[in-house]
Every structure is written in C-alpha cells, then in structure tokens.
Amino acid sequence: MEKICGLIDAPFTPFDKNGEVNLEPLGIYAAMLAKNGLKGVFINGSSGEGYMLTDEERMQLAEKWMEVAPAGFKVIVHVGSCCLKSSRKLAEHAASIGAWGIGSMAPPFPKIGRIEELVKYCETIAGGAPELPFYYYHIPAFNGAYLPMIELLKAVDGRIPNFAGIKYTFESLYEYNQCRLYGGGKYDMLHGQDETILPCLAMGGAQGGIGGTTNYNGVNLVGILEAWKAGDLEKARELQNFSQEVINVICHYRGNIVAGKRIMKLIGLDLGPNRVPFQNMTDEEEARMKQELEAIHFFERCNKF
C-alpha cells in the first residue's frame, strides 16, 4: 500500500450558531490547508467532534470534503462509532464516494481491553471497504484502550488485508519506533502528536503524520519536515519549539478541540461553536488567548488564506 508522506490535517467540523453542521466553509478550508502544505484531511475524528455527529451528518461532511478537495488531496474518513453497525455503514459509504482511506479509534464504550477484541472491531469495519487503506487510530487517552500496538500489528498481519497502519497519538516514542520497524517497515506509522514530530524524524522513521494544530499552525509543522529533509537541524528545532509554544497556549483554554477551533476564527475562518458537552470559550477567554498568541508572534507565522 502507498505510505503517506507529509502531514494530514484533522479538521474541525463547522457548526452554525444553532449547532447544526455548516458545510459552507469547507471549500475555503480545504484550499487554505493545501496552500499551507497539508496533504489531506482525516475527517470526523476527535478534532472534528465525530462522536457527537449523527451518521447522516458524518456522511454529508464526507461527501462535501470529497467535493471540495483539491487534486491529489487525500480524504481519509474516520468511521469509528460505539455502534459497530454504524461504523460498517460509514466505511461502505466512504468507499462509495471515492475516499482515499478510512480509519477508526477504539470506541470509548464499551472499553476494549484485549487485543483480540480490538482486532475483531477493526476487522469488521475494514471489511466494509476492503479496497481502501484502513488505519487504526491509537489515542488511548480518549478511550482507555491502553493496548500494546506491536501486538496489534502481529495480530492483524495476514488477517486484515487492507490494514495500512496506525495513527499513533501516544507518548511512547519507543513503541512507535518498534511498530515502525515491525516486518521490515511493513505498516504505515502516522505520527499523531504535533509536539514531538522532530524526535520521530530523528529516529529515522516518521514520513507522515496526522495532526490537529496543523489547522492553524500547519505551515510551521510542515516546515519541521522540510528543515529535517534539508539537513537544517537548528531550523527544525526552532520550528518544533515554536509549535510547542502554540500548544502551551491552547492547553490554557481546554485544548485543541475548543481553543484551536476558536483560533480558526482569529485567523479568518469562523467555524462556529463546539457541541455540548464541550465548554465553549468565552469572549474574555478569547481575548486573553489572543494576547498570549500575540506574545509569541503567532499571527505572523500561522496558516494564511
């Protein structure tokens, strides 16, 4: 299977003031991401509040992203759900509209605690779109599925033909690298933590990744890969350190899903509020966050339209 080179964005889902999905901004959104060096989108995931969308909303979003995606821009659809029948249906739909690939995290309920449970879950979903690459989205902080990913690769090897790899959003760089080395590099290990791109490059393995802060800081995160490729370690370090400064700011305001979505408004694309039970930022919090971002000269370096 083709391995992804470069960074894929995990976009936010636009809502109107009444909390309904708003498809209108997606054309501008897609063009902006491509302009700033992103290679595609991984839609309806955690950044996109996917578990808070209906199946119909998720399919509408997938169809619209396919419509507006620039040439060569990969659309990967997150199809994970607490209802396996819904996941299978969403996988089939993604295949029917020509999506590049699909992916799924483990469900937050019921909690998966054994490798075989996870394999059966992935196997059922992947079987709904056997011609598409399937990525497991490893984000145990979200769902409590703290399982060894090297064991997952061993279990799916030869069992799920379209298992492409893992979106790895966890802190163990050791495990990430062991998974990258498995089977002579058989599986695509997509880096999932924007704060540690450079260490994974240094281990010699990271070629692609999926990020959330790429929505507004993508030009700098893409720059890390470019600087590393050019052999400019000092530039790569500066860009990684700056990207961590941006993450430090959003951590003051409930993280990427809440604060990051509000940053999109500040840089010129209002994607609306978050859905309940997320606690939306107040105008006062927005003003304070803007000041913190100005202090690190973020608006001089962020994604541009």
Query: In sequence order, what DSSP letters do the residues of 6-75 get, joined into one string?
Result: EEEE-PPPPB-TTS-B--TTHHHHHHHHHHTT--EEEETSTTTTGGGS-HHHHHHHHHHHHHHPPTT-EE
pLDDT at res. 206: 73
Least Cα distance to 91 among 21, 7, 27, 160 occurs for: 160
Please confirm, yes or no, whether 167 is among the known catalytic residues.
yes
Task: Identify whether the C-beta of residue 108 lies closer than 8 Å to the C-beta of residue 121.
Answer: no
pLDDT at res. 301: 98
User: Is the residue at 144 inside a domain?
Assistant: yes
User: Is the residue at 255 inside a domain?
Assistant: no
Q: Is the peptide bond before 277 cis (omega within 30 degrees of 0)?
A: yes
**Residue 92: domain span:** 6-233
Task: Catalytic residue, from 135, 136, 137, 168: name it.
Answer: 137
User: Is the residue at 285 inside a domain?
Assistant: no
User: Is the residue at 81 inside a domain?
Assistant: yes
Task: Catalytic residue, from 121, 167, 168, 253: name it.
Answer: 167
Number of domains forming the structure of the chain:
1
Query: What is the per-residue burial (b if ≥16 Cβ within 10 Å, else e) of 251-290?
Result: eebbebbbbbbbbbebbebebbbbeeeeeebeeebbeebb
Please confirm, yes or no, whether 182 is among the known catalytic residues.
no
- pTM above the 0.75 mark? yes
User: Is the residue at 193 inside a domain?
Assistant: yes
Task: Identify whether the C-beta of residue 182 lies closer than 8 Å to the C-beta of residue 150.
Answer: yes
Task: Identify whether the C-beta of residue 48 lies closer than 8 Å to the C-beta of residue 10.
Answer: yes
Task: Identify whether the C-beta of residue 236 lies closer than 8 Å to the C-beta of residue 228.
Answer: yes
Phi-psi region of 144 (alpha: psi -120 to 50; beta: other; left: phi over 0): left
User: Is the residue at 146 inside a domain?
Assistant: yes
- Report the C-alpha gap between 93 and 100 in whole angstroms: 12
The segments of the chain whose pLDDT lies below 70 read 204-205
Using alpha carbons only, give the angle 99, 216, 179 rounded to the nearest 5 degrees.
Answer: 55
Work out the number of other CB atoms within 10 angstroms of the CB of residue 152: 22
- Report the C-alpha gap between 218 and 7 in whole angstroms: 8
- Report the C-alpha gap between 192 and 208 in whole angstroms: 9
Residue 206's CATH number: 3.20.20.70
pLDDT at res. 1: 85
User: Is the residue at 196 inside a domain?
Assistant: yes
User: Is the residue at 137 inside a domain?
Assistant: yes
pLDDT tens sequence across 187-213: 999 999 999 999 989 886 678 999 999
